[in-house]
Amino acid sequence: MIVCKLCRVKGRVQGVFYRASTQEQAEKYNVTGYARNLRDGSVEVLACGDAPAVEILCDWLWQGPLHAEVDSVECVPIQEKAPRRFTTG
């Protein structure tokens, strides 16, 4: 069963390869969606795929890449048509 979660990641998450690292992790677990910077300095992540894979990615969002400092991650399930791949933008 495919599920989708929309997450907002706050902290030092822009300018530290957070989006690219999230894409790398997503592709590793066959999760589709996107990671994009928001104007307030946070990153929005849409994660769609098998429920266990989406949970693994959502847990990873707390870690992020080496220089990230994550303060909070809020994920909510949403009804969304799963994209065909994972993008950053």
- b/e map of 64-85 (b: 16 or more CB within 10 Å)? beeebebeebebeeeeeeeeee
Contacts of 31 (CB under 8 A, 6+ apart): 25, 47, 48, 49, 53, 54, 57, 86
Catalytic one among 12, 19, 30, 85? 19
Catalytic one among 12, 36, 37, 39? 37
CATH of domain 2-83: 3.30.70.100
37 counts as catalytic: yes
pTM of the model: 0.96
User: What is the helix (H) or strand (E) element at residue 26, kind and residue range?
Assistant: helix 18-28
Rg (CA), the chain: 12
What is the chain's percent helix, strand, coil content, to nearest 5? Answer: 25, 45, 35
In tens digits, the chain (89 residues) has pLDDT values of 899 999 999 999 999 999 999 999 999 999 999 999 999 999 999 999 999 999 999 999 999 999 999 999 999 999 988 999 999 98
DSSP-based three-state secondary structure for 69: strand
Domain range annotation of the chain = 2-83
